[in-house]
């Protein structure tokens, strides 16, 4: 039976520094021709060299069972990333890594990786003719207003979203608030007249990751689709230290407003409270995703 996801062998072709905190890695290989992506925020799993420096060598047919059966010390570290760009015909795929020192296996690998290194990725299989999932960008077909709140971990997805919208005939009125570590991380992205793009830089600021996004959620001007009368009366609590904050909705086909929020889970939890309970954004069109959690490892 054809499965929606497959394990692919890839080789690092080249790396390109985009900013102080972001590096783009281009991977290639014969198998890349069979990778598929469905949206700008398409998630994949990347397997990295283990603690001994051995490249991942999982079997395409039994990779998950083999991974789970391995001694944790011998497992290749696994992390979630976004496909930044896929050129299947050219057998190339771009993945942007966030650099934050030698604090974890992914950033540590990215600091010293050189062309020729081999990794493995789990990604949608082009041979599967259904919807493989693994993405949350599902805007209503007649979207008039869009709210984007994201930190650097979601910047690859947001950049892809803005590129996609810029190619449309009538891009929506968009409020985009993007938080990054350093001023050099404010990347060039497509713009249009009704896009209000705000960059917030944590560099030298006495704040934690997500604080600028919380302020934006509280203070940014919202469209008429948001109204306090629509506020969620009883919003359930989420323990972001025990579970992943991941609330996504399929917006109604006739919806005109859409929001996409991704970043540090503690900050996203606060933003959830502000947008849904205090400001009355429609829950049916509000996606809230904790891409990472301060002090924890998320695979």
> Is 133 among the domain residues?
no
Residues 128/3, Cβ–Cβ less than 8 Å: yes
Tokens of 112: 């010293």
For residue 296, with 0-12 CB atoms within 10 Å meaning exposed, 13-18 middle and 19 or more buried, which class applies? Answer: exposed
Residue 80 and residue 158 in one domain: no
What are the pLDDT digits (tens) for 215-243?
999 999 887 656 666 666 678 889 888 88
Nearest to 168 by CA among 196, 143, 185: 143
What stretches of the chain show up as alpha helix (H) in DSSP?
63-69, 105-112, 155-166, 211-219, 265-272
Residue 171 and residue 105 in one domain: no
Is beta strand 173-180 parallel, antiparallel or unpaired with respect to 195-201? parallel
- The number of residues in the chain equals 299
Residue 174 and residue 83 in one domain: no
Is beta strand 145-151 parallel, antiparallel or unpaired with respect to 173-180? parallel
Q: Which residues constitute the domain of residue 176?
A: 145-292
> Is 242 among the domain residues?
yes
Domain boundary among 124, 153, 177: 124
Residue 151 and residue 220 in one domain: yes
> In this model, does residue 296 exceed pLDDT 90?
no
Tokens of 16: 């390109």
pTM for this structure? 0.94
Residue 186 and residue 244 in one domain: yes
What are the pLDDT digits (tens) for 68-110?
999 988 899 999 999 999 999 999 999 999 998 777 888 899 9
Residues 24/15, Cβ–Cβ less than 8 Å: yes
Residue 83 and residue 217 in one domain: no
> Is 132 among the domain residues?
no
What are the pLDDT digits (tens) for 174-207?
999 999 999 999 999 999 999 999 999 998 787 8
Percent of the chain predicted with pLDDT > 90? 75
Count of domains observed in the chain: 2
Edge-to-edge strand order for the sheet containing 286-292?
195-201, 173-180, 145-151, 257-264, 286-292, 246-247
Output the CA–CA distances (angstroms, integers) from residue 230 to 249, 280, 289, in the order listed: 16, 5, 21
Residue 244 and residue 177 in one domain: yes
What is the CATH number for 56? 2.40.30.10
> Is 137 among the domain residues?
no
Q: What is the pLDDT of residue 103?
A: 73
What is the CATH number for 158? 3.40.50.80
> Is 260 among the domain residues?
yes
């Amino acid at each position: 039976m054809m499965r929606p996801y497959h394990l692919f062998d890839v080789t690092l072709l080249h790396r390109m520094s985009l900013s102080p905190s972001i590096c783009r890695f281009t991977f290639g290989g014969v198998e890349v021709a069979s990778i598929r992506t469905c949206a700008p925020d398409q998630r994949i799993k990347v397997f990295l060299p283990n603690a001994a420096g051995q490249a991942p060598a999982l079997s395409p047919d039994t990779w998950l069972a083999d991974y789970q059966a391995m001694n944790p010390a011998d497992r290749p570290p696994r992390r979630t990333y976004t496909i930044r760009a896929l050129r299947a015909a050219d057998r190339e795929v771009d993945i942007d890594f966030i650099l934050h020192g030698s604090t974890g296996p992914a950033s540590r690998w990215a600091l010293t990786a050189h062309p020729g290194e081999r990794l493995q990725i789990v990604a949608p299989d082009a041979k599967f003719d259904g919807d493989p999932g693994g993405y949350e960008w599902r805007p209503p077909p007649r979207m008039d207003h869009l709210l984007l709140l994201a930190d650097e971990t979601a910047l690859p997805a947001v950049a892809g979203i803005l590129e996609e919208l810029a190619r449309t005939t009538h891009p929506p009125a968009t409020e985009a608030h993007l938080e990054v570590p350093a001023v050099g991380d404010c990347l060039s992205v497509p713009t249009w007249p009704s896009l209000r793009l705000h960059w917030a830089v944590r560099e030298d600021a006495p704040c934690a990751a997500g604080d600028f996004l919380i302020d934006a959620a509280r203070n940014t001007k919202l469209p008429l689709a948001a109204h306090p009368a629509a506020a969620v009366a009883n919003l359930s609590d989420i323990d972001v230290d025990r579970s992943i904050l991941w609330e996504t909705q399929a917006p109604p086909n006739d919806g005109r407003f859409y929001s996409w929020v991704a970043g540090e889970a503690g900050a996203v939890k606060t933003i959830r409270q502000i947008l849904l309970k205090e400001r009355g954004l429609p829950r049916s069109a509000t996606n809230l995703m904790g891409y990472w959690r301060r002090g924890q490892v998320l695979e």
